[in-house]
Chains A and B, each alone.
Chain A
Amino acid sequence: MKSRFILAVFVLSLLAIIAVACAPAATPTPTPVPAKPTEAKPTPTQAKEMAPTPTPKEEKPAAAAPEEKRLKIIMVQHALCAWDSFWCTVEQGAKDAAAAMNVDLTILGPDKFDLEKTAALIDQAVAANPDGLAVTVTDPKLFKDPIMRALDAGIPVVGYNAGSGPEKDGIPYLTYIGQDEYQGGYQGGKRLIAAGAKKGVCINHQVGHAGLDARCNGFIDAFKEAGLEAEVLAITNDPAESQTIIDDYYTAHPDVDAFLTLGPNGANPFYAFVEARGLKPGDILHGTFDLSPEIEAHIKDGLTLFGIDQQPYLQGFGSVMWLTLVKRYGIMPALPVTPTGPGFVTKENVGVKPQPDKPLKLMFVQHALCAWDSFWCVVEKGIDVAAKQLNVDYTVLGPDKFDLEKTAALIDQAVAAKPDGLAVTVTDPKLFKDPIMRAIEAGIPVVGYNAGSGPEKDGIPYLTYIGMDEYQGGYQGGKRMIAAGAKKGVCINHQVGHAGLDARCNGFIDAFKEAGLEAEVLAITNDPAESQTIIDDYYTAHPDVNAFLTLGPNGANPFYAFMEARGLKAGDVIHGTFDLSPEIVAHVEDGTTLFAIDQQPFLQGYLSVVTLTLLQRQNISPALPVTPTGPGFVDKSNIALVKALAGTYR
């Protein structure tokens, strides 16, 4: 027995020696990193696959940093600060962003409200051939032709303040930067429910107005989801009449305890009703859209829980920021609508004055570091670029190997340093909950980035999660394929049961269903030969399927083998995929693959700095529980830029 034991010890040590001897010889940085960046709980075998880290890398010639290139951006809006004070805040945001980001900014607008004139100004802007153009899409029909001329000239275009997104407006600009009305009502409803609401009413002063109706729909959906009731109450332009309508309604429905008003027009008669009825703060719950001196006073005295702001500063700031990101790094806004609101103004932050020069010290705690995992170099680059632009100090903390306990301890270390803002990868919500709660209780604003599922799913009330939205990746991908002519789709899933991958397929299938088309999931395996045949057989059995979505290089690789074996050429079928690999990059270039979806790690670092800085300096809070950095679409339009910046910015 003793000799056997010695033999066993010998064998195990030999094994260890081999493992150690092989590792450094093979790669310069041996990294046992189970850090799948978008998923909360990584399992070792799937972890790193989502990280777009093509190897081997080619050496790239050193070039000037993209930030050093001065850009020229033009904004065209239907009104100006000179004659409408609302726009001063928008313009201030745009100017601040331009100064920080090395941009020459020109703001054009008519000298009185005149849409024809505004449309002409768009053409004037296009003639100046800027690096980016932001437009208020006030009248999509009238503005369509001039905006199309900008797009045809290869100028990136975003909409801001007025518009409904590229789809509803019927103009393929990049994204609409403005208030998400539905989310305003929905998030507002959730806040009222969290405060104890049992039955709600949405007081609508203009039923039939699409934006206001969307607010009420969101509010009612939030109540329905919680198993509660809510409905719409129409009021008029006569405040006395409106006050009586609300009063009578309350008499008829004494169990209603939550009231949402859609602006000062509703809040004003509501406050008159409260006063006449002798109601006190705490008797009922009230939330409203917009701010007025009256509303601010009632937020302070506790009668009104919140005022929802569309955050005009962010509309200007975001327009310049997004156009800069698109032009310099090929980074794309994740969604057709990039919401600047709902921004909630509550007792905690009401009346806070902007402090644009406030010195800030931010801290980042992440479960991995650039030093031993190259994926994180891109995230850290994003932090660094944003911090330099906005002139804030920052510190990045991370363990020297993958160690969640250590990471949790680093959060506490960061809290002890009393930073002005803290960003954390919520890799393990259970383990990280206590240290993050200690930060929140100490009054430090916290955002999650790269790993997490948002404050609600993670069960930790941090501000927002800045990372990939997997469902939207599949959904937006599906829509692009349908626009390209897809008739029937299949989502090729290499790991059915993996929550993140399943969400991608669900989004894809929903996009097809919405268009009245069919799509389903095809499961493949870890054996590429088997997978290739499965795809081939599936295509034989379903020759009408012409759209294939793969969820990463693991699916794309056997898919390309299938195409080659089958003799299919670019254009025979429509292919889209997640992530980038050398093979995928080559196929995007040759047109076989319509798009590759990137989670844009640079943006995860960059937006964390921007979000915390704007919160501290401009009192601007993130609009949604999840601030998506992806899907970032890489297609023929930006593949060259993405390829050139791979490894540093992409």
Chain B
Amino acid sequence: MGAPRTKEKNLWDLFITSPVAGPLATMIVIWVVFSLFVPHFASMRSVSGIINAATLTGMVTIGVTMLMISGEFDLSVGSLVAIGAYGFAFGTVFWHSPLLGIVLGLFIPAILGAINGLIFVGTGIPSFIVTLGTLYIYRGAVWLLSGGQLIQTLERPLVYQIFNGRLDVVNNLIPGANFRTSLLWLLGMTALFQYILTRTAYGNHVFAVGGNPLGALAQGVNVRRVKVINFIISGTLAGLTGILLFSQYRSVRVATGAGMELSAIAAAVVGGTLLTGGAGSIWGALLGALLISTLRTGVILMNIPFIPADNFEAVVGVTIIGAVILNNWLRSRG
């Protein structure tokens, strides 16, 4: 461009080469446009609604993104969310033990995540196929666990308030806001895994096994171990999602979480994670989840006459593709 190198230019370079550039840019554009043109969009109510709607998907997306960066998929997370929620429900509703609930809600999905990983490294079948299989197997396990029954309670013990209660400290300060403690869990986990990914040796290994597995192997990285650990992370975070879900809605059923696996992959991809592995970020994935949530809210609020209220998901789909095209364009320029 021939312009003199300035400090701003350096910041721009830094921005455009960052994996969050695409989703952040899209997010800013959409927020500005929606705020200007969509009635009721620029309000604390819709902001907190967008965030609340993204918390459960967002939590699942963190684990899915870790796995995708290392080059693998986990399609079983939706089923694991239900298993986590049932485990937590059994502990807290039937045995009145928050500790047992948390242990069941996290450990069963973690073990099932490990099984995903072990089948994958043991057989060499692509993880897409392995977890497509376990998606159904684990949903079957939900049937076994639950006997097909809905579990619902009307009690509100402290443990539910901790995982997903009202964040009234904040809500009372901002009129119209309706934040929940699940937001803190999401931000905490995002920060934790972003740190692991970018500041630890393990994080380097994750990028390496996704981007260049042979090279990583040559460098002495235990590729299989990294992938199995990521499957466990993905399963555990799905379980945590189940705990958050049950803590707010105090209700879990056999179909709970079905379809979440695809929302998570969509969020990760919109957030700049490559389907082929080796690139991506947790912040980006979180932005991806928020972006999809924003679009959904925007489309509903726009109240477009020819798009009935039972068909707005199609508009979200179109926009997911648009966001990825923008990501790719930015990446090629960077």
Question: Which A residues contact B (CB, under 8 angstroms)?
Answer: 4, 7-8, 11-12, 14-15, 18-19, 22-23, 26-27, 29-34, 44-49, 51, 53-56, 373, 490, 493, 496, 520-523, 525-530, 532-534, 536-538, 540-542, 553-554, 557-558, 561, 565, 581-583, 586
Contacts and interface: CB of A to CB of B under 8 A. Distances in A.
Given A4-B123, A55-B150, A26 B46 contact: no
Interface in B91-133: 93-94, 108, 111-112, 115, 118-119, 122-124
B254 to A, nearest CB: 6
Given A22-B141, A522-B309, A534 B53 contact: yes
B66 to A, nearest CB: 20
Contact of B297 (A7, A27, A537, A542): A537
Contacts of A542: 303
Interface string B266-298: 000000000000000000000000000100110
Contacts of B254: 44-45, 47-49
Query: In this complex, which of B52, B143, B182, B250 has the most chain A Cβ atoms within 10 angstroms of its Cβ?
Result: B143
Nearest to B299: A537
B17 interface: no
Given A44-B254, A530-B53, A4 B124 contact: yes
Nearest to A561: B249
Q: What's the interface size class on B, roughly?
A: 35 or more
Contacts of B122: 4, 7-8, 11
Given A29-B147, A532-B53, A537-B300, A45 B259 contact: no
Nearest to A36: B148
Given A490-B309, A521-B310, A533 B152 contact: no
B234 interface: no
B225 to A, nearest CB: 15
B163 interface: no
B249 A528 contact: yes
A46 B255 contact: yes
B147 A56 contact: no
B334 interface: no
B241 to A, nearest CB: 9
Contacts of A30: 144, 147
Contact of B259 (A19, A526, A581): A526
Given A32-B143, A537-B300, A557 B49 contact: no
B300 A527 contact: no
Given A56-B94, A527-B263, A23 B253 contact: no
A581 to B, nearest CB: 5
A48 B148 contact: yes
24 contacts: A7-B122, A8-B119, A19-B140, A22-B141, A26-B145, A29-B147, A34-B148, A44-B139, A48-B254, A49-B255, A53-B150, A56-B94, A527-B57, A527-B260, A529-B57, A529-B245, A529-B248, A530-B53, A530-B56, A533-B53, A533-B293, A534-B300, A581-B152, A582-B153
B12 to A, nearest CB: 34
A529 B148 contact: no
B40 interface: yes
Given A22-B141, A23-B145, A26-B90, A553 B301 contact: no
Given A26-B90, A29-B147, A51-B148, 18 more contacts: A7-B122, A7-B123, A11-B115, A12-B119, A15-B137, A46-B255, A520-B309, A523-B310, A527-B245, A527-B257, A530-B53, A533-B50, A533-B52, A533-B297, A537-B297, A538-B309, A540-B40, A565-B178
A554 B82 CA distance: 14
B108 A22 contact: yes
Interface of B: 39-40, 45-46, 49-50, 52-57, 78, 86, 90, 93-94, 108, 111-112, 115, 118-119, 122-124, 137, 139-141, 143-154, 178, 182, 245, 248-251, 253-260, 263, 293, 296-297, 300-303, 308-313
A8 B301 CA distance: 50
Given A49-B254, A532-B52, A31 B301 contact: no
A522 B309 CA distance: 5
B45 A558 contact: no
Contacts of A32: 140, 143-144, 148
B115 A526 contact: no
A529 B309 contact: no
A324 B223 CA distance: 71
B320 to A, nearest CB: 15
A56 B139 contact: no
Nearest to B93: A56
Given A4-B123, A530-B53, A31 B147 contact: yes
Contacts of A558: 249
A561 B166 CA distance: 11
Contacts of A31: 143, 147-148
Please list the 8 inter-chain residue pairs (A to B) with the smallest Cβ-Cβ separation, ordered nearest first: A533-B53, A48-B148, A7-B122, A537-B300, A523-B310, A521-B310, A27-B147, A23-B144
Given A49-B255, A56-B94, A529-B56, A540 B145 contact: no
B144 A583 contact: no
B152 A54 contact: yes
B137 A526 contact: no
Contact of B251 (A45, A526, A528): A528
Contacts of A46: 255
B253 A529 contact: no
Query: In this complex, which of A15, A31, A553, A558 has the most chain B Cβ atoms within 10 angstroms of its Cβ?
Result: A15
A520 B308 contact: yes
A581 B147 contact: no
Nearest to B117: A11
B152 A582 contact: yes
A106 B86 CA distance: 54
Contacts of A529: 52-57, 182, 245, 248
Contacts of B148: 31-34, 47-48, 51, 373
Contacts of A553: 150, 152, 251, 253
A523 B313 CA distance: 9
B50 to A, nearest CB: 7
Nearest to A7: B122
A18 B143 contact: no
A46 B143 CA distance: 11
Given A55-B149, A536-B45, A537-B46, A583 B251 contact: yes
Given A26-B90, A534-B300, A557-B249, A48 B49 contact: no
A521 B57 contact: no
A490 B300 CA distance: 14
A553 B153 CA distance: 12
B142 to A, nearest CB: 9
A130 B202 CA distance: 79
A14 B300 CA distance: 46
Contacts of A26: 86, 90, 145-147
